[in-house]
Structure 1
Amino acid sequence: MKHIWLVTVLLVSFFGNAQTLSTYEKPPVFSECDSLAVNQLKSCFNFTLNSFIYDNFKTPEIVSEEDYNGDIQVLFEVDKEGGFKVIYVDAIYDELKEESRRVFDALPQIKPATYNGKATFVQYSLNIAIPLVKPVEEIIKDEDELSNTVNLKNRDSLNATLSDEFDNINKSLKPYEGLEYSSQLNIPFTHSYYSRFDDEMNAIGTNSHTAAKPFIQADVAKYYDIKAEKESLAKETDSWFGRKLYNEHLVQVQGKDYWFTVDPIVDLQLGGETEGDDGTWNNTRGVYIQAGLGKRLNLSTSVYESQGRFADYFNTYAESLKAFGPDPAVIPGRGIAKRFKENSYDYPVAEAYLSYTPADFLNIQFGHGKNFIGDGYRSLFQSDVASPYPFLKLNTSFWKIKYTSTWMWLKDVRPEVVVDDAFLTKYMANHYLSWNVSKRLNIGLFESVMWADTNGRGFDVNYLNPIIFFRAIEFQTGQGAGNAILGLSAKYKWNNKVNLYGQFILDEFSLSDVTGGNKSWKNKFGFQLGAKYFNAFKVDNLLLQAEYNQVRPYTYSHNTQILNYGHFNQPMAHLWGANFRELVLIGRYNYKRWFADTKLIIGQRGFDFNIEEDSFSYGGDIYRDYNDRNSDTGITIGQGNKTNSFMWEHQMGYLLNPETNLKVFANIIYRDFNPEAITSSTADSNTLWFSLGIRTDLFNWYNDF
């Protein structure tokens, strides 16, 4: 960790000094400015451009009729040939956007900017005030001074012009062009961030496949321009510190056949809760690196060093996940935690992957991280609630099909399965076929199998076949050799504002028992039904979501306990395991850099009593042997220690840096947890938890246990 920080500091020092110099020799030049001195070219460019807009812009009738006062924000580029290209336009009326594009299309070709004597491109953002104000010419002698009559900000993407001693290095560098947004890298998966482009990805006619996550940047770029969105949010600042804090990666470098970015990771929180007296806090520091080699190979790595203490209910759950050994807890979604001081935790985490695209229809990823399959907040197939794990994933796209195959190396960390003080390795393989049946309807087929090193077979090559049915392989390899699960998903685009989605998971099914109406334990299945309402009630960027999840007892469990659907004592699907029903209501809103998320979760669960008089498994704990069940028939959701729960979580904040997803936020949670019987493993809880913090938001935190 110390070596990583040393490299980062050296890079920051090197490029920080370099960026204090001019990013180009001359700005673009209109013919009207040819005779001026170099230090007057910028102000002349500003004045000429604004004069052209003033003379040619025709205010649409709808704007005139409503006596509109406001701005049009235009992000544009002057390319190496001196041509103008509009990248992004933001305005309240579509007519204003269309007129802005028309005016920029009418601009003449000019002399391009130069860098080291060679033509280069530059990018700018421009605010056009409505009603229009005639520009006033003002000659600027200082190149860095901007006219107060022209609101034009240079967004040149060139990162550094190095001093003479680095001339050889400088010749190999290029302006950083944001190649990450067209790369084969994953977009870090958080529900709040993905909601920003969920609307565009799910519009009728897009034929995008949205269940298998995280998404690849190049796939999303077909439907939504993330690069343009982030550039449109850029703050006006001329200082190096301001650019790095608000607009750019800390280090961003591009050469002929490579590029890379380096950013710090932070998650600093302070808070308090009503059930504990020691306060809550978190202190995460780390480094996040993204890189590309050529056009088809990309890599990413993130390393975290963290200490923290959370709300009492969170700490209790983390300690209930304790692995074999002296360490007291497993932090949900992160990993094993050592004791820090008297009542806190130290939990380091590292995630990384390689992404290679040998052909346009195939992407291969190998790394250590998480995956998610589904269109909802929860997934009954595969979720990201467990700790990171090694994986190999193939994404194949052709015709109306996207086919995802994933192989994973998981761990059972319970003391009873440890061999020679080492955690038990088990394996999991998934197939997910997504088929766009029409412009509105998508159907997905899912299968998964879990197996262990039975009879020394290790990673069974039978399951490497990416197109075979796991049920057939499971049958051929012997009874009890694996645990296979089947699933069906669907998504229907009701219109461009409302999407319906759902999942059905099948672990085991007995038709005779279902028709017999005796509520057999063998009927192990669950389902999800949900809806998303985009730009709800005609409010831009307001997403409303409702989702219902239900899973019967004993689903995901097995009579060979190591074959349960879990990893590091956490479920690989729904956070609650099985034997539950749940209603989730979510609202998300963002305006420029501001955001707010609200979530309500109402649920009913059935827990085991875990007492001498009643030690039966009631089907909620997927790590229990289903042969320990309380009955063969009369099995219902919520059986056992029936518990009703209610949770409200609200977060609001400000996006400091769109490039790194660095945000400041305030978060409040109210949780009411009421079991029918108070036992050593299930306690009554009523919590109010409030936190303030700053976070590089790269993964989902789930607090709704």
Structure 2
Amino acid sequence: MKRLVVLLLLLVQYNLFSQDDLFNERPPMFPDCKNASIESQQKCFNENVFQLLFNKFKVPQNVLDDNYKGEVVILFEVDTTGQFKIIYVDAMYDELKDEVERVFSEFPKIKPGIYNGNPTFKQYSITLKIPLEDKVVETQDLRQENEISKIERQAKLEYDEVNASIKSFSNKSYSSQLNIPFTHADYSRFDRSMNLVGTNSHTASKPFVYNDVSKYFDFKAETEALKKETSSWVGRKLWNEHLVQVEANDFWFTVDPILDLEGGKDTNADFSTTYNNTRGLLVQGGLGKHFNFYTTVYESQGRFAQYVNDYAESLKAFGPDPAIVPGRGIGKRFRTDSYDYPVAEAYLSYAPAKFINIQFGHGKNFIGDGYRSLFLSDVASPHPFLKLNTSFWKIKYTNTWMWLKDVRPDATVDKAFLTKYMATHYLSWNVSKRLNIGLFESVLWTNSNNRGFDINYLNPVIFYRAIEFETGQGAGNALLGASAKYKWNDNVNLYSQFILDEFSLTDVTAGQKSWKNKFGYQLGVKYFNAFKVNNLMLQFEYNRVRPYTYSHNTIVLNYGHNNQSMAHLWGANFSEAILIGRYHYKRWFGNAKIVLGVRGLDYNDGTDNFSYGGDIYRDYNDRPFDTGIKVGQGNKTDTFYANLQGGYLINPASNLKIFTDITFRNFNPEVETASAFKSNTVWFNIGLRTDLFNWYFDF
């Protein structure tokens, strides 16, 4: 009897253990799986999930039209209440992802999975074949509660959760702190919108950031208006979108190729064709709401019109490389008569508060409302800079610190180019709804007495002239300037600049045209929607700069970088008149430009080696006389330049354009020298270009 009781107790214990084991763990349960055996419940769950998917899923029409064959990988969860939830979907088409979301939203609520007798959530992955196949696909259970810990499970799902955070691209660049790439033609699209009577905008300090311009110009509306209807991936990337565009809640970025592929003919050149072959990459994006980044890398080879090649070689730096491609950088010899000129530009942009933007990078800046700038221009090569833009009330204050190079042999030490520094202040004040005035100052200095980057010039609210006296008058070169803009009405703007390098009141009142009166001025007008033609902008501008402006008796302290001017392309000792017309209609555009000018060049012929004030890389003490100084003195040269361009915007996202243009140039010095000789150029060109910066060939 005793043995029988023990046996019965053992049987009860075994039965209880078996029952506990049966309900220890099971998958989520559909109603028709209730009577399935433990071993069959997972299979029953798989069949139900697939059948629901197969019955409800409708392949989008554009996927069918493309005859797409592939897979949709779905990561989903059944939570502790039995509710289905999508975690992540990997598919080639956004429409496939949207369809998966729709189907799962219609899944019924079922009994949740069980672990240790308690409801638990279960995660699975399933692969759906496109076109749909009428067969059950096994789901993979991603949760092994009895094998791995909770922290391990989270780690294993981390990559998928990152993928799950990706959402449809909405182009956050339009509200970002990124710069709008500065080209005169593209800026004319929103120039009128920013200059309407009554706006509190500031338009001189360039490039603009998208967040500032978006208050006046609707980039998204323009993008939609230009959008081409296309359903294929290739069509979208060619006509409408960035090549790569990724967005999540707290970051976004885009990647685009850069192209500048051109071919042409200079009728005045000995060689057969001109060309430019640029390939590169552009990466930009944002982290959070206040931090943005931008980088471009270019690899280029080119041979330009003969007068451009001659000018590039006249800029030659110390060393074996034969040229500096104007506006770009040092050009190595490529083949026998071409240049290889790699360039990289990048910056970080941060807005810690609504009223301030800080940028640090390698690139170019511009101050002014005109085509030219007498303050700070973008005609020289890119360089390192730190910029601080502060906006409040009716004020915008721009501080820029730059690291420049003097690449002349005389300034080179141990085969290293000399570094010089430049700091600028520009204060823009909207006096009224129509009138804006600006105050400008800049200073250049070098590492004299091993002072390096002088901390005195980091102060953003000082007058540089006073600091120049404190550090020694020969230690720097300070310039002052003023600007004004008047909005005649919504369609007509008047603008001006005045730059003062040196001024002697005594000499002015003496009326003898002293060399010390080094100054220049600009007068201009813009006419938007000219003659009631929408999107037609006409511009007239006159610039005049007296001899020896921007130069210095210590040459390294001149207003230059990489043997190029940091202000006007022509240096000094010139006057010019410019007429520009710009028009765009949908994706089509046309630009026309005429430049008429008089310049005073040096002779440099061995018998007359005086500086007549046009070359800012000459010591002004080499002048031939102190009085009677006038614009155009020296080897007087008449210049005529005309350019007509037309094209089509292929992709607004990357600013890829196809264009053709023709250039006429007549350069006529009174006396021909080795560096200044008569030439007549007709230059035809056609190309495919990612338009991100200004080319200046009007010298």
TM-score of the aligned structures, taking structure 2 as reference length: 0.78
Aligned match of 1:676: 670
Answer yes or no: is 1:185 the counterpart of 2:184: no
The answer (yes or no) to whether the contact 2:57–2:100 under 8 Å persists in 1 is no
Aligned length: 560
Task: Give, in angstroms, the shift of residue 492 of structure 1.
Answer: 0.3
Answer yes or no: is 1:251 the counterpart of 2:239: no
Aligned match of 2:192: 199
Structure 2 CA distance for partners of 1:654 and 1:41, relative to 1, 3 Å: closer
1:369-380 matched pairs, under 5 angstroms? 369-380=363-374
Aligned match of 2:464: 470
Tell me the alpha carbon deviations over residues 264-298 of structure 1, each in whole angstroms, 9 at most, x when there is no partner: 00000000011113310000000001010000010
Structure 2 CA distance for partners of 1:682 and 1:115, relative to 1, 3 Å: farther
Answer yes or no: is 1:288 the counterpart of 2:312: no
Tell me the alpha carbon deviations over residues 212-248 of structure 1, each in whole angstroms, 9 at most, x when there is no partner: 0000010001110112212210101111111001000
Alignment-mate amino acid for residue 498 of structure 1: V
Answer yes or no: is 1:265 the counterpart of 2:250: no
Aligned match of 1:230: 223
Tell me the alpha carbon deviations over residues 273-328 of structure 1, each in whole angstroms, 9 at most, x when there is no partner: 11113310000000001010000010000000000100000000000000000000
Tell me, what secondary structure is at the counterpart of 1:432?
A: strand
Aligned match of 1:73: none
Alignment-mate amino acid for residue 636 of structure 2: K
TM-score of the aligned structures, taking structure 1 as reference length: 0.78
Tell me, what secondary structure is at the counterpart of 2:550?
A: coil
Of 619, 635, 638, the residue aligned with 1:625 is 619
Tell me the alpha carbon deviations over residues 402-427 of structure 1, each in whole angstroms, 9 at most, x when there is no partner: 00000000000000110111000000
The answer (yes or no) to whether the contact 2:253–2:286 under 8 Å persists in 1 is yes
Aligned match of 1:703: 697
The answer (yes or no) to whether the contact 2:524–2:540 under 8 Å persists in 1 is yes
Aligned match of 1:573: 567
C-alpha separation between the residues in 1 aligned to 2:638 and 2:253? 49
Answer yes or no: is 1:208 the counterpart of 2:201: yes
Of 499, 506, 510, the residue aligned with 1:516 is 510
Aligned match of 1:47: none
Tell me the alpha carbon deviations over residues 179-208 of structure 1, each in whole angstroms, 9 at most, x when there is no partner: 011000000000000000001011111110
Tell me, what secondary structure is at the counterpart of 2:381?
A: coil
1:503-582 matched pairs, under 5 angstroms? 503-582=497-576
Aligned match of 1:116: 101
Structure 2 CA distance for partners of 1:241 and 1:424, relative to 1, 3 Å: same
Aligned match of 1:403: 397
Alignment-mate amino acid for residue 258 of structure 2: I
Aligned match of 2:591: 597
Tell me the alpha carbon deviations over residues 462-493 of structure 1, each in whole angstroms, 9 at most, x when there is no partner: 00000100000001001211000000000000
Aligned match of 1:458: 452
Tell me, what secondary structure is at the counterpart of 1:654?
A: strand
Answer yes or no: is 1:642 the counterpart of 2:643: no
Tell me, what secondary structure is at the counterpart of 1:521?
A: coil
C-alpha separation between the residues in 2 aligned to 1:114 and 1:572? 56
Task: Give, in angstroms, the shift of residue 167 of structure 1.
Answer: 4.9
The answer (yes or no) to whether the contact 2:57–2:103 under 8 Å persists in 1 is no
Alignment-mate amino acid for residue 540 of structure 1: N
C-alpha separation between the residues in 2 aligned to 1:639 and 1:354? 45
C-alpha separation between the residues in 2 aligned to 1:244 and 1:633? 63
Task: Give, in angstroms, the shift of residue 37 of structure 1.
Answer: 8.1
Aligned match of 2:420: 426
Task: Give, in angstroms, the shift of residue 515 of structure 1.
Answer: 1.5
Of 609, 615, 619, the residue aligned with 1:615 is 609
Tell me, what secondary structure is at the counterpart of 1:603?
A: strand
Answer yes or no: is 1:309 the counterpart of 2:309: no
Task: Give, in angstroms, the shift of residue 170 of structure 1.
Answer: 3.1
Aligned match of 2:439: 445
- Unmatched segments (≥5 aa) in structure 2: 1-54, 63-97, 106-129, 132-156
Give % identity: 70
Tell me the alpha carbon deviations over residues 527-568 of structure 1, each in whole angstroms, 9 at most, x when there is no partner: 000000000000000000000000000000000110000000
Task: Give, in angstroms, the shift of residue 116 of structure 1.
Answer: 2.9
C-alpha separation between the residues in 2 aligned to 1:116 and 1:374? 52
The answer (yes or no) to whether the contact 2:394–2:429 under 8 Å persists in 1 is yes
C-alpha separation between the residues in 1 aligned to 2:380 and 2:428? 24
Tell me, what secondary structure is at the counterpart of 1:416?
A: helix
Aligned match of 1:160: none
Alignment-mate amino acid for residue 182 of structure 1: S
Alignment-mate amino acid for residue 253 of structure 2: F
Q: Which has the larger radius of gyration?
A: 2
C-alpha separation between the residues in 1 aligned to 2:238 and 2:566? 36
RMSD of aligned Cα (Å)? 2.0
Aligned match of 1:221: 214
Alignment-mate amino acid for residue 240 of structure 1: W
C-alpha separation between the residues in 1 aligned to 2:184 and 2:103? 44
Of 409, 412, 421, the residue aligned with 1:415 is 409
Tell me the alpha carbon deviations over residues 343-362 of structure 1, each in whole angstroms, 9 at most, x when there is no partner: 00000000000000011111
Structure 2 CA distance for partners of 1:627 and 1:227, relative to 1, 3 Å: same
Tell me, what secondary structure is at the counterpart of 2:467?
A: helix
